[in-house]
Amino acid sequence: MSSLTLLLSFFAMFGLFQGASPAYKNLTPAQFSAALRQPGAVLLDVRRPDEFAGGHLPGAVNIDVTAPDFAQRVAALDKTKPTYVYCRSGARSANAAGQLTKSGFEHVSNLLGGVMDWPEKLVR
């Protein structure tokens, strides 16, 4: 076994190739639904406005994560409140959750599977 192979095996054994875990929580729809019941929670829909108009979770605020003013608009939110983000399938909201935590939001959670896995009725 070469020295390089031995060194790579050592790093792999101790998980040194794994990325850091995200600073936000990924929640299942059941966990997300239960967490939303806490007072002061902010629910953020990060889909496009046309997707939001087609149906969204009750009480959600729409700020499109792909819009050029996303960072500016979320900067107006209270960073100390628990913030719950979702999108259609969970990919854009994971991106948004990462951006929120990097900009100082203290408690951010992402809905795994997005509204596609949401078991409750959406509102318009």
pLDDT in tens, 38-70: 899 999 999 999 999 999 999 999 999 999 999
Alpha-carbon distance 98 to 75, whole Å? Answer: 14
What confidence tens digit (pLDDT) does each residue in 85-94 have? 999 999 999 9
SS3 label, residue 84: strand
Does residue 101 belong to any structural domain of this protein? yes
Does residue 50 belong to any structural domain of this protein? yes
pLDDT above 70 for 20 = no
Does residue 82 belong to any structural domain of this protein? yes
Range of the domain at 80: 25-117
- Amino acid letter for position 104: G
H/E stretch holding 76 reads: none
pTM over the 0.95 mark: no
Q: How many domains does the structure of the chain reveal?
A: 1
Q: What is the pLDDT of residue 3?
A: 52
Does residue 41 belong to any structural domain of this protein? yes
Q: Please say whether the beta carbons of 81 and 107 come within 8 A.
A: yes
Q: Is 100 a catalytic residue?
A: no
Of these residues, 74, 87, 97, 111, which one is catalytic?
A: 87
CB atoms within 10 A of CB 100: 27
User: Which CATH number goes with the domain that contains 38?
Assistant: 3.40.250.10
Does residue 94 belong to any structural domain of this protein? yes
Does residue 5 belong to any structural domain of this protein? no
Alpha-carbon distance 107 to 88, whole Å? Answer: 21
Does residue 67 belong to any structural domain of this protein? yes
